[in-house]
With several copies, the nearest count.
Chain A
């Protein structure tokens, strides 16, 4: 988790910032950019941009197809990226499927499950129908909510969910009513993208195992921010996105336990995922190829490999410790301002590097605008977690999210900006 290891050396943030060309720019009439929106998408270091460019300028070709030298080099670059990314998250390479984003990864699992209805007997274990239940939580990002609603709509299964407590934690008081023999899937986020809450994976996996439910982990906000070992977590599936971990857009990763991927019917179909094609019928390749239809995001995989290398070189423990520091400062700074309410845990236990809040009397959109005018880029709105906002009785929040390149003085800029917003709207 996010505890600082005693002997971890703090990050050399100045050196890190030098890797990110965008951080030198100014916004809104010359204000230095204070980018506090990495929870939405991170910035990319020159190392990642270079890796992708170098690939495209020297080895670009269709992978897994041609027999010429470029095709060999490209295939090698693509597959070696898979190996490095697998290592980064404690998985085996053939357990990683490249998707376009995390959303596709979760949809992949949900569609494979409804496809099981008309696939062979191998797929039996993925079948869902009336009486079966899918359990999620009220703090899910829409990406880990709507696909399950839709799966229920397609199959007749029922959606259930954990509530959220007043202090922004999962309400586990009714866990044994929710996770029962009827539960076929338990899907939840590792870290909330709004509250910052880190959920108790081990506990929930144990509950799911007892009833034989599949566990799908939304790892979008964990893999980029602290060390994640998927084998150790013992989840069945996990999804995360490249663009939130200093990697390229257009690439995400779905992890699936080997034996599950092997039994699971395909989702997208087309080239490169087949074994034998006839007009009448098609058989499919082994995973991960079975789930990678069409020309893959080749250069993006190379870029994501470089991103994993970049984060590994820093050390994920140190990334987490750095964010811990910034978040602690933000909670303290914002906590001191009358009329500012933190949405999510106000202490640092099981909590990651982002802070959402509201300013009494100033709509989040307006708060964000004032911050923007000062060069501070935050996100405002429901952050694709609308039900969570309803549960917290706020229409929207302001979210500041931190990453390796942020500094304590940027936290100060945030806190000062909030005071400015109060002044501007006359509520301070």
Chain B
């Protein structure tokens, strides 16, 4: 195995210098997600204004992959409409579940394409998706009105 194929420079950069980290107010909904096999966890908040993702803030503990992918997530969704964000999410999920067979589209996924190598390691796919699951869940909670702060 070529370690570099999983740990691309971009991933290590995001891991060491995460974007948007920390929990911020105000927010509309929060989601707590955990990976039961390794104990990684993330708490993620979203603020949605007029159908746009105004802010994503988060904290958590986890491996480089889960931390970096959440950092990349904030870059990809903040400032975009929820619809756009979900399209991006779908592309990212598809990439991760593609067993390394899918060619990522840099126009859509930007730094997210660095995770193409992770898709070859099934045990790490969940790590890469942890923040995204929290994002999806948090957004669902805002529109369901389950939680509004």
Seen from chain A, the residues whose Cβ lies within 8 Å of a Cβ on chain B are: 28-29, 31, 64-67, 69, 71-72, 75-76, 274-276, 285, 363-366, 369-370, 372-373, 380-382, 386, 389, 395-396, 424-425
The answer, yes or no, to whether B38 is at the interface (CB within 8 Å) is yes
Q: Apart from A274-B36, A369-B3, what are 19 other A-B pairs with CB-CB below 8 Å?
A: A29-B1, A64-B37, A66-B123, A67-B38, A75-B122, A276-B36, A285-B36, A364-B38, A365-B40, A365-B64, A365-B65, A366-B63, A366-B65, A370-B3, A373-B2, A373-B3, A381-B38, A382-B39, A395-B41
B37 touching A424 by the CB < 8 A rule? no
Q: Please give me the 10 A-B residue pairs with the lowest Cβ-Cβ distance, nearest first.
A: A365-B63, A28-B1, A363-B63, A381-B38, A373-B1, A67-B123, A382-B39, A373-B3, A395-B39, A395-B61
Is B34 in contact with A276, judged by CB distance below 8 angstroms? yes
Contacts of B64 in A (CB 8 A): 363, 365-366, 425
Q: Is the CB of A381 within 8 A of B121?
A: no
Asked whether A369 and B38 contact (CB < 8 A) given A28-B1, A363-B63, the answer is no
Q: Choose among A31, A69, A363 the residue with the greatest number of B CB atoms under 10 Å from its CB.
A: A363
Chain A residue with minimal CB distance to B6?
Answer: A369
Q: Evaluate contact between B38 and A365: CB separation under 8 angstroms.
A: yes
B127 interface residue, CB < 8 Å from A?
yes
Contacts of B52 in A (CB 8 A): none
B80 close to chain A: CB less than 8 A: no
Residues of A within 8 A of B124 (CB): 67, 365, 369
B1 touches A424 (CB 8 A): no
Taking residues whose C-beta sits less than 8 angstroms from the other chain, chain B's interface range is 20 to 34
B7 within 8 A of A: yes
Within 8 A of A (CB), among B1-58: 1-3, 6-7, 12, 34, 36-41
CB-CB < 8 A to B1: which residues of A? Answer: 28-29, 31, 69, 372-373
**Which B residues are in CB contact (< 8 Å) with A395?**
38-41, 61-62
What residues of chain B lie closer than 8 Å to A424, measured between beta carbons?
3, 7
Q: Are A396 and B123 in contact (CB under 8 A)?
A: no
Complex interface bits, B127-143 against A, C-beta within 8 A gives 1, otherwise 0: 10000000000000000
**Distance (whole angstroms) from the CB of A25 to the closest CB of chain B:** 15
Q: How far is the CA of A28 from the CA of B40 in the complex (A)?
A: 25
Cα–Cα distance between A66 and B37 once the two chains are bound (Å): 9
